[in-house]
Amino acid sequence: MEVEVRGLTKTFATSQGHVTALEKLSFDIRPGEFYTLLGPSGCGKSTTLRCIAGLERPDGGEIVLGGRTVVGPGVWMAPNERPIGMVFQSYAIWPHMTVFRNVEFPLRQTRSWVNKTERRKRVMEALSLVQMAEFADRPAPFLSGGQQQRVALARALVSRPEVLLLDEPLSNLDAKLREELRIEIKELTSRLGITAIYVTHDQIEALAMSDRIAVMHRGANPSGRFAERYLPAAGEQLCRRLRRTGERLRGYCWA
Amino acid sequence: MAIDTLSLSRQFPRWRLRWERLRGNILLVVVMAVLLAMIVIPIGRLLINSFLEGHPALPEGWTLQNYTTAFGMPLFYQALATTLVLATIGTAITVVIAVLFAWLIERTDMPCRNLAWALILIPMAIPGVLFALGWALLLSPKTGAMNVFLRDVFALFGVEITEGPINIYSIGGLIFLDGLRGVTTVFLMVVGAFRMMDPSLEEAARVSKAGTVATFFRVTLPALSPAILAAAMYSFISSMESFEAPLAIGLPANIFVLSTLIYFTTRIQAPLDYGLAAVFGVSYMILMVFLLIWYRRAVRNSERFATVSGKGFRPRIVSIGQWRYPALALFVVYFLFAVAAPFCVLLWTSLLPGYRVPSIDAIRLITLDNYREIFATDRVFEVIWNTLVLMVVAATATMVLAFLASWIIVRAPVRGRGLLDGLMFVPHAIPGIVIALALIMAFLTPPLRYTGLYGTMGILVIGLVIAYISFGTRLMNSAIMQVHKELEQAAYVSGASTAKTLFFITLPLLFPAFAAGWIWVAVHALRAFSIPLMLSSKNNEVFAVLLWEFWENGTASLASGLGVLLIIALIPLSLLMRRFIVQVSGQQG
């Protein structure tokens, strides 16, 4: 599914007044693309992702998912109505449910009723995608961090969303596991042909996984700004630094 | 920046966004409206009625007469003075006893400390009205069991008197009851501080050549003074609101406090005067609001000077040598006065055909007839049913509303949640008797008159919900803050609506806190007295009210029987409640 972001603007009210997190941010993502928002913390990349998910309400601009405007002037679609799946930094696995129940939850929320055997089939499918099928009946608190993240991925994929949003999903894991899951996530999304938007501050991760990278940068202004508009020079500099790290750049640096 | 904001608001019309937000959050809007109505309408009614003449249902026009009458009444000032004197002296006694026992039980080598820890909680299970009735039986001037015993002792020394020597129906008696009554609460509020205090403070005093006593008064007490002061203020506020002992002990002796003055004006005197009662209620409420604001400030300030850290120190046990057994004796005397004596006299009275002074002869008369009589009346089962319904419905309604209110306060993306936070604190400042008075007025007049809830169980439930919602919200606030936001957001992006997320994700995650609050409210509803009594009519009598009715009709043995049953039901429930609450929040029940 194609994702279009047009003139996205978001300000936060703080005790010191308004802080602009995003200002007139625009970009397009092609169907099936693995698109990464890369930048230091506080540059607004998570805010962008949360706007796409519907967890934040932008002050201006519009977001179009597959030709359908989900937020724009006079339009608002709640997160539960959008065709998305999301993986959180903290995994957000519900501790009062088993692995199976966690993954089953999105299927219970759909408008069209999915019957029990169908639900079971699809949950087990999603769990085997992330190699967690044998843990189905385990209570969620008895999982390691890596296992929880796999469950979170299965939960995000089970309702077959068209867009997968990943908010720094690997940053709480140790280095070895991170590498392993990096490859898995990448393979999974290209196999399913799903559009993925990935947020990270880790350059290696971005380079290893993405078809395309958008570099977001914090400018002289304390608020985060998108590289496109304010800082092409800084963006290019960052890309050069990325190349120096020695990893092969898939796609190209978009600045 | 200013230009940007302008152009933005043109892009997304404000009213449109607001409407959409409302439409998406109908649940939240309804909850906020209910809470607002529940608190604002009765208080507003109380204020309005203080300026009206005549019965609330048939007002005869606006007037300031109520205010001039009230403020020209010597009885009003007397009641105010009595309330303040009672609360001040009562609190002083309470704090001295409670701090002494907290230190003895937590920090010294007094024998049987663990047993004492358990026993000191038992007064929680004895409703204030039963405590007062028990002591009325023990110390009424002519027939009180303890007075008879004292007269026999005096007779041995050749002093013959026919009455007294102690009369519970006096201001002294009220102070005595109030002083004993609050010990458990204050003990629980300060005992944690005694446990958590850094022992090196005291060790430093000891190596500086201070003795045990000097260390206690010069170091331990000052270091803990913030905690003690906060507990004392809390106890003072509870004493200001006390109703049960002043009703059972004070009214027969013509001693009024503010709460009983309101009860007297609306339920006993002829003709009843609601306008005057409204003035009393408004004055009482304003006084309590100021006291509570003062308390909140003081507690906040004292937290800044905290000498008690959260570190888990192993408390240093002080050896009190030859004082160990006198200390234990002191505790036994306290327990006798606070629990054993009043309970035993109630039990004794409930086993006899009529009240008699305990004696060997009377033992022959012991019978279970009173209990048989209690269960032979049809009304008893209706009353028990009412009580159970009240417990379950009030607890559920309070906690569900508190949960939703807290969720709005902590999480919801709506404006006005700060206001809601302040609003949920208000009922905490209103004495139960004033809540009841305000509800009577609100449900006798439009718009609430059309609900037809006056004189039903419904109005009782509403009264208790208002009384307990502050506590529930405080408990739920801290519980919701501990639930990670992303757990809820994961549900939204999984396709769940707000209501489904609350029900399937948030509520199960904080179920322990919810259950603890539920039990707390249920226990308090079971022993609630002032609100059910004020609002009682034929169809909504509960256990405590029936008990009071028996007492007023002169059948003390039936009242005692009901009291014994109530205490037996409350003991396990109270202990269960305390365990739950401590587990969840460390807050004191």
Which is nearest to B40 in space by CA: B521, B450, B452, B442? B442
Residues of chain B neighbouring A23 (CB-CB closer than 8 A): 4
Q: Give the pLDDT score at A239.
A: 58
Q: Which residue of B has its CA nearest to A154?
A: B494
**B308 closest CA partner among B209, B382, B198:** B198
CB-based contact, B267 to chain A, within 8 Å: no
- Chain A contact present for B492, CB below 8 A: yes
Option in A82, A92, A105 nearest B489 (CB): A92
What pLDDT was estimated at residue B86?
92
Inter-chain residue contact A54 with B492, CB threshold 8 Å: yes
Mean pLDDT, chain A, rounded, equals 79
Beta carbons within 8 Å of B273's beta carbon, 6+ residues apart: B265, B266
Instruction: Give the whole-angstrom CA distance, residue A181 versus residue A177.
Output: 6
What pLDDT score does B31 carry? 82
Average pLDDT over residues A189-203: 89
List of chain B residues whose C-beta atoms are within 8 Å of the C-beta of residue A89:
486
The pLDDT value given to residue B302: 62
Q: B7, B17, B411, B494: which to substitute to probe chain A, counting the most A Cβ within 10 Å?
A: B494
Contact B201, B223 (CB under 8 A): yes
Question: Over pLDDT 90: what percentage of chain A?
Answer: 14
State how far the Cα of B15 lies from the Cα of B408, in Å rounded to an integer. 21
Would the CB atoms of B492 and A109 count as touching at under 8 Å? Answer: no
Choose, out of A22, A59, A111, A199, the residue to mutate when testing the contact with B (most B CBs < 10 Å): A59
Q: Please report the pLDDT score of residue B98 as a whole number.
A: 92
Alpha helices, DSSP H, located in B416-542: 417-425, 432-444, 457-481, 485-493, 498-501, 507-509, 511-527, 530-534
Asked whether residue A253 carries a pLDDT value surpassing 60, the answer given is: no
Q: In 3D, which of A54, A201, A251 has the Cα closest to residue B497?
A: A54
ipTM: 0.78
Binary contact (B8, A78; C-beta < 8 A): no
Which of B:563-582 have CB within 8 Å of A? none
**Burial annotation B215-245 (CB, 10 A radius, 16+ → b, else e):** bbeebbeebbebbbbbbbbbbbbbbbbbbbb
Residues of A in contact with B496 (CB under 8 A): 80, 105, 109
Instruction: Give B479's contacts in chain A (Cβ within 8 Å).
Output: none
Measured between CA atoms, how close is A99 to chain B, in angstroms?
Answer: 14
Of A20, A81, A92, nearest to B490 by CB-CB distance is A92
What residues have CB less than 8 Å from B165, skipping those under 6 apart? B147, B150, B151, B154
Any bridge partners for residue A85, and if so which? Answer: A164
3-state secondary structure of B62: strand
Q: Give me the DSSP letters along chain A.
A: --EEEEEEEEEEEETTEEEEEEEEEEEEE-TT-EEEEE--TTSSHHHHHHHHHTSS--SEEEEEETTEEEEETTEE--GGGSSEEEE-TT----TTSBHHHHHHHHHHT-SSPPPHHHHHHHHHHHHHHTT-GGGTTSBGGGS-HHHHHHHHHHHHHTT--SEEEEESTTTTS-HHHHHHHHHHHHHHHHHHT-EEEEEES-HHHHHHH-SEEEEEEE-SSSSEEEHHHH-HHHHHHHHHHHHHT-----SEEE-
Please determine, for residue A252, whether its predicted confidence score (pLDDT) is greater than 60: no
Please give the residue of chain A at the shortest CA–CA distance from B20. Answer: A76
Residue of A nearest to B484 (CA): A92
- CB A206, CB A200: distance < 8 Å: yes
- From chain A, pick out residues whose CB is under 8 angstroms from the CB of B486: 88-90, 92
Cα–Cα distance measured from residue B167 to residue B547, given in angstroms and rounded to the nearest whole number: 23
Beta-carbon count within 10 A of B469 CB:
27
Supply the pLDDT for residue B175.
92
HSE (side-chain half, CA atoms, 13 Å) at B453 = 18
Residue of A nearest to B486 (CA): A92
Chain B, 460-489: which have a CB under 8 Å from a chain A CB? 484, 486-487, 489
The reply to whether residue B490 touches residue A94, judged by beta carbons under 8 angstroms, is yes
Q: Of A84, A90, A95, which has the smallest distance from its Cβ to B493's Cβ?
A: A84
Is there a contact between B12 and A86 if contact means CB atoms under 8 Å apart?
Answer: no
Are B227 and B301 in contact, with CB atoms under 8 Å apart? no
- Give pLDDT tens digits for A24-67: 788 888 898 888 888 777 778 888 899 999 888 888 889 999 88
- Phi and psi, residue B430, nearest 5°: -100, 120
* A9, A18, A109 ranked by CB distance to B500: nearest: A109
Count residue pairs from A and B with Cβ separation < 8 A. Answer: 90
How confident is the model over A199-227, as pLDDT tens digits? 988 887 887 788 888 877 653 233 333 43
Which position has the higher pLDDT, A250 or B477? B477
CB contact under 8 A, B486 and A82: no
pLDDT given at position B87:
92
Nearest residue of A to residue B16, measured between CA atoms: A74
Give the closest-approach CA distance of B25 to chain A in angstroms.
Answer: 11
Q: Where are the domains positioned within chain A? A: 1-82+164-169+195-255, 84-161
Handedness of CA B287, B291, B296, B298 (dihedral sign): positive
Domain locations in chain B as residue ranges: 373-589
pLDDT at B310: 47
Q: Do A60 and B509 touch (CB under 8 A)?
A: no
pLDDT score of B400: 93
What is the mean predicted confidence (pLDDT) over A222-245?
44
CATH superfamily of A1-82+164-169+195-255: P-loop containing nucleotide triphosphate hydrolases (3.40.50.300)
Nearest CA to B292 among B475, B436, B88, B428? B428
How is residue B498 written in tokens?
Answer: 């707000």
pLDDT for res B24: 59
CB A59 to CB B413 under 8 A? no
Rounded Cα distance, B257 and B266, in Å: 14
Q: How confident is the model at residue A112, as a pLDDT? A: 72
Judge whether B493 is closer than 8 Å to chain A, CB to CB: yes
CATH architecture observed for domain B373-589: Orthogonal Bundle (1.10)
> SS3 for B473-506, per residue?
HHHHHHHHHCCCHHHHHHHHHCCCCHHHHHHHHH
SS3 B309: coil
A109, B496: Cβ pair inside 8 Å? yes
Contact B441, B274 (CB under 8 A): yes
The verdict on B152 touching A (C-beta cutoff 8 Å) is no
For the stretch B447-454, contacts whose Cβ atoms lie closer than 8 Å and that sit 24 or more positions apart, written own/partner, are B448/B41, B449/B57
3-class secondary structure, B108: strand
Residue indicated by tokens 């949920």: B424
What is the model's pLDDT at position B332?
92
Residue appearing with tokens 């009275």: B349
Assess B11–A contact: CB distance below 8 Å, yes or no: yes
Do residues B391 and B526 lie in contact, with contact meaning Cβ atoms separated by under 8 Å?
yes
The pLDDT tens digits along chain B (589 residues) read: 333 333 344 445 556 556 655 665 677 778 888 888 888 888 888 888 888 887 777 777 788 778 888 788 888 899 899 999 999 999 999 999 999 898 888 888 888 888 888 888 888 888 888 899 989 888 888 788 888 888 888 888 877 777 778 888 888 889 999 999 889 888 888 887 787 777 777 777 777 777 777 777 887 788 788 888 888 888 888 888 889 889 988 888 888 898 988 898 888 877 778 888 888 889 898 998 888 888 878 777 665 555 544 455 556 677 777 888 888 999 999 999 988 889 988 888 888 887 777 777 777 777 787 788 888 887 888 888 999 999 999 999 999 999 998 988 888 766 677 778 888 878 888 888 899 888 888 888 877 777 878 888 889 999 999 999 988 888 888 888 888 888 999 998 888 888 888 889 999 988 888 888 888 898 889 888 889 998 888 888 888 888 888 888 888 888 888 888 888 888 888 888 877 777 765 544 3
